[in-house]
């Protein structure tokens, strides 16, 4: 599976993509926990659990839609991590 980081994250992390082999499907929340272990700067100095930061600090897009923490990710997926969208 491939994770693509938007520019705001790639500049902080020093890379624009991360590839890994999933042996079985996982929930998005587990993937995010793994990514925060590999890339501690992804947390952006925020405290709490990944689920508490999701949607306020970053969003994941897969197959053209915003993913939820409980969505299942497979080895064939490409996930984009983007900043949250603000509007008003």
Give a yes or no: residue 88 inside a domain.
Answer: no
**With pLDDT > 70 as the criterion, what percentage of the chain qualifies?**
93
Give a yes or no: residue 67 inside a domain.
Answer: yes
pLDDT score for 85: 73
Give a yes or no: residue 63 inside a domain.
Answer: yes
Alpha carbons 88 and 74: distance in angstroms, whole number: 35
Which domain range does residue 28 map to? 2-82
What CATH number did the domain enclosing 71 receive? 3.10.20.30
User: With bands split at pLDDT 50, 70 and 90, how would you rate the model's confidence at 79?
Assistant: very high
Give a yes or no: residue 87 inside a domain.
Answer: no
Overall number of domains in the chain: 1
Give a yes or no: residue 60 inside a domain.
Answer: yes
Whether 78 contacts 61, CB under 8 Å: no
């Amino acid at each position: 599976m491939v994770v693509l980081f938007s520019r705001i994250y790639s500049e902080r992390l020093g890379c624009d993509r991360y590839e890994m082999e999933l042996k079985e499907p996982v929930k998005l929340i587990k993937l995010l926990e793994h990514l925060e272990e590999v890339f501690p700067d992804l947390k952006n100095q925020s405290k709490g659990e990944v689920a508490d930061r999701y949607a306020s600090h970053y969003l994941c897009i897969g197959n053209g839609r915003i993913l939820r923490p409980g969505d299942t990710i497979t080895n064939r997926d490409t996930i984009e991590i983007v900043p949250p969208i603000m509007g008003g």
